[in-house]
Amino acid sequence: MADQSIPKARTPGTAAGKSEAASAEEGISRRRLLGTAGATGLVLGTAGAAVGYGAAPSEATAPLTSLGTDRAMFHGKHQPGITDALQSRGHLVAFDLAAGAGRKEAAALLRRWSETARRLMAGEPSAHDDTDVARDAGPSSLTVTFGFGHSFFGRTGLEKQRPAALDPLPEFSSDHLDKNRSNGDLWVQIGANDALVAFHALRAIQKDAGAAARIRWQMNGFNRSPGATAHPMTARNLMGQIDGTRNPKPAESDFDQRIFVPAKGEPAWMSNGSYAVVRRIRMLLDDWEKLSLKAQEDVIGRRKSDGAALSGGTETTAMDLEKTDSQGNPVVPINAHARITRPDQNGGAAMLRRPFSFHDGIDADGVPDAGLLFICWQADPLRGFVPVQRKLDRGDALSKFIRHESSGLFAVPGGAAEGEYVGQKLLEG
């Protein structure tokens, strides 16, 4: 981590004769002990109001580790929380506009939310009645992302601006959906690398809703913490499988074309935006864990240890779909999850998966209520999520061990420019 010009606080109880150099050396060692490995995002290299709410001029503040100072930017071409690295804590929350609330109230709400998100992502307190939950922390890679559901447009009189891509998802045979935990007028995704920073943002967003909107549903998730592995690697899910190997990469030439609405796309207010499919997928872990390692790997089509395809190589080696064993059977089973979801097996359909795991305790039958908060991003869900899910519906080996329990589709407009709020082109256009 780069040095920061912040005075080091004197440690209570330090002997009066201890040298300045020794104190400085101790501070450096402590920072090394706290660790900086695995942090992602943009590093905020200056002290003050943007780090831990700042310190009064008379106060001395020890520098944060790089995990705390990592900062994502609110303003930009795209909203944050789409291409940013996975965070260790997440909250998903959907709101419905209150009775009588319409376009005017929605615009005021998005203006409040955008300002709150901008401040919190910079490590500053919210503008009104801050709870102080995150007072001692920096931005911690916080991102806040906003989207609109199908029903939002009817409630605000903006039906003519509703994108065709936001048509309700078709029904799938694997669905066991709880309507009370699905869809919604407005959707907010919160992610951070500190649990208190994430909760602080959730609380601020909830309070900002005021009388304009009420919570429809909320879900909480997690991922592995940055720096928990010896080197950066693809995340694992609660089945123990490496999950997300074939995700599109921003460096790929067609990434923006597959994930984001073109700058001159339709409707115009969705320029540089994306569509998020959100699914709560329960993993039937008791059944899954009864399988042998080989049986688990056959279901997925990849080795559990390193994510490599069963046809050989490393995690990133292209899967050989034609390779057979000594009996002439495909090495990667025909119904293996990784085989069925390949873009080249689905007309090039691609989506950026950016999930969180969840564990909401044990149900009445003593079974873990745990699984995946599946979030995928694409320029058009009818060409991204839908064809892949239809194919999975017809014969995915994994379907016996998962249950889709809630679902939502949201239009996520492009990022807000300086001085604008998210969705302004829709609400004031």
Q: Are 95 and 148 a contacting pair, CB within 8 Å?
A: no
Q: How many CB atoms lie under 10 A from the CB of residue 31? A: 17
Give the side-chain half-sphere CA count within 13 A for 80.
Answer: 24
How far is it, in rounded angstroms, from Cα 386 to Cα 238?
24
The C-alpha angle 348, 407, 154, rounded to 5 degrees, equals: 100
Q: Where are the alpha helices (DSSP H) in 122-265?
A: 150-155, 195-209, 255-259
Q: What phi, psi does 145 have (nearest 5°)?
A: -125, 140
How far is it, in rounded angstroms, from Cα 184 to Cα 94?
5
Q: Does residue 243 carry a catalytic annotation?
A: yes
Enter the tokens of residue 196: 């208190």
Q: What phi, psi does 144 have (nearest 5°)?
A: -130, 125
How far is it, in rounded angstroms, from Cα 120 to Cα 200?
9
Nearest in space to 233 (alpha carbons), one of 358, 283, 225: 225
Q: What phi, psi does 388 have (nearest 5°)?
A: -70, -45
Q: Are 296 and 236 a contacting pair, CB within 8 Å?
A: no
Catalytic residue, chosen from 70, 194, 243, 380, is 243
Burial of 234 (0-12, 13-18, 19+ CB in 10 A): middle
Output DSSP code: residue 93. E
Helix (H, G, I), strand (E, B) or coil at 399: helix
How far is it, in rounded angstroms, from Cα 188 to Cα 408?
12
How far is it, in rounded angstroms, from Cα 9 to Cα 257?
50
How far is it, in rounded angstroms, from Cα 279 to Cα 402?
12
Point out the residues that are catalytic.
243
